[in-house]
Chains A and B, each alone.
Chain A
Amino acid sequence: MKKVFITLVVCLAVFVACTNDKEELLNPSGNDCTGVNASFANDVLPIIQAKCQGCHGAGSTNGPGQLTNYNEIKNAAAKIRTAVVTGYMPKVGGPLPSSEIKMIKCWVDSGTPNN
């Protein structure tokens, strides 16, 4: 029984050492969308083509399916945003650089314009 309590106390000590950090604030300039005019054609589509279409190319049925044109990407925008911001995607090649996450995030937050 003593061992159980010692273990629980150790876990509690680790738990108390927790922090409340926000990824967006660790690199504020990299995440602030103020003044950012994210373009679908110039910013978002090239990232999707380079980093996502390996698994989400034509004929893909993975997750939201193929991400090859504006309508497909727009329809999956909310999922794409959550997936790249949380680092869940891309699975191949690791998470996107902050600058690319920022572009996708800012484009989705600005209403997914076809610009």
Chain B
Amino acid sequence: MNKRIGGRLAALLLLVVAHTAYAQDEDLLKQLGPDTAKKEYVKNAFKSSRVINNHSMEFIGKGVMDVRILHRFGTIQNGFEDLFGLDEANTRFGFDYGVGKSLTIGIGRSNVNKELDGFIKYRPIWQSKGPGGFPFSVVLITGMTVRTQDFPEPKDAYEFKHRLAFFQEVIIGRKFSEGLSLQLNPIFLHRNLVPGAEDDNNTWALGMGGRVKLSKRTAFVLDYTPILAGRQEGTKDPIAMGFDFETGGHVFQLHFTNAIGMNERAFLTTTTDDFWKGEIRFGFNLSRVFTLSKKK
């Protein structure tokens, strides 16, 4: 008992000493002048709000609308016969809007399954330098997809809820230097309806993304999302790699991937091509930002 009380007193003493020392440090810092140290948020970890398929730790600015046009073409295996897959195109149109510096909402529509998707992206922790700085960013994303394509006959076996899927995602990312940014993004996907009796409605994946800056306007990006559990039968892990090109208000992401889908439900559960067997598609993400409200 005495030992416990003694331990608590020692801990209290340590707290008081630490606080006094901290206060003294603060006083010394004040003597140096008001502008010696300032918290500085780390910006431009990625050129775009997407690595390629996955969301990146980057945000568009407050009051900014990002119009996004995404394409995934056919596999490149047939060469000039179908111009490396360009004869077959899948598209997603999307609109992201920056509600705040750390809050973005977005909607989109893909031709595959005639699917709508929407998300809310929030950054509770922003990587920063200086006093009170934090070594990495934490981003939370919640979203859902709605299939608008008709179900097969007999249609009355299906209800509206069967059109829905949901995903929750956490991004933990760090800009290590001007040239290198890395992130991990665990994703949980729930589909209200899956095809087979043995298929799992829940899918867990761990996204890994990185950017290596090559020049002021060019970067190499890599986006790999291994499925950890609940894999849809016959599907592979989505992989994508390519280059970001920044030209004024546009960001072009030109890349190669095995994924057809352009929202989380689609690329996590419909990627049937094997990247390592050459079943690769050319694709691009085109992003154009418009400032809708003036900065105050």
Q: Which residues of A contact B (CB under 8 A)?
A: 4, 7-8, 11-12, 14-15, 17-27, 30-31, 61-63, 65, 78-79, 81-83, 85-88, 91, 94-99, 101
Contacts and interface: CB of A to CB of B under 8 A. Distances in A.
Contacts of A94: 149-150, 152
Interface string B140-172: 101010010111111001100110101010000
Given A7-B120, A22-B199, A62-B88, A98 B153 contact: yes
B50 interface: no
B103 interface: yes
B149 A87 contact: yes
B113 interface: yes
Given A19-B161, A63-B74, A87 B197 contact: no
Given A65-B78, A81-B234, A88-B112, A18 B149 contact: no
A99 B157 CA distance: 14
Contacts of B74: 61-63
Given A24-B195, A61-B82, A65-B78, A97 B152 contact: yes
B157 A8 contact: no
Contacts of B78: 61, 65
B269 interface: yes
B194 A88 contact: no
Nearest to B166: A15
A11 B190 contact: no
Given A20-B201, A23-B196, 13 more contacts: A7-B120, A11-B144, A19-B201, A21-B194, A22-B194, A22-B195, A63-B74, A63-B88, A65-B78, A79-B234, A82-B232, A88-B270, A98-B152
Given A23-B193, A82-B234, A96-B152, A11 B162 contact: no
Interface of B: 74-75, 78, 81-82, 87-88, 103, 111-113, 120, 122, 140, 142, 144, 147, 149-154, 157-158, 161-162, 164, 166, 168, 190, 192-197, 199, 201, 232-235, 260, 269-270, 272
Contact of B113 (A15, A87, A96): A87
Given A19-B192, A62-B82, A82-B235, A97 B153 contact: yes
Nearest to A60: B82
Contacts of B122: 4, 8
A15 B149 contact: no
Among A27, A82, A86, A101: residue with most chain B CB under 10 A? A86
Contacts of A83: 272
Contacts of A18: 161, 164, 166, 190, 192, 201
Contact of A101 (B152, B193, B232): B152
Contact of A24 (B113, B192, B197): B197
9 contacts: A7-B120, A11-B120, A79-B234, A82-B232, A82-B234, A82-B235, A88-B260, A96-B152, A98-B152
A95 B153 CA distance: 9
Nearest to B105: A7
A11 B142 contact: yes
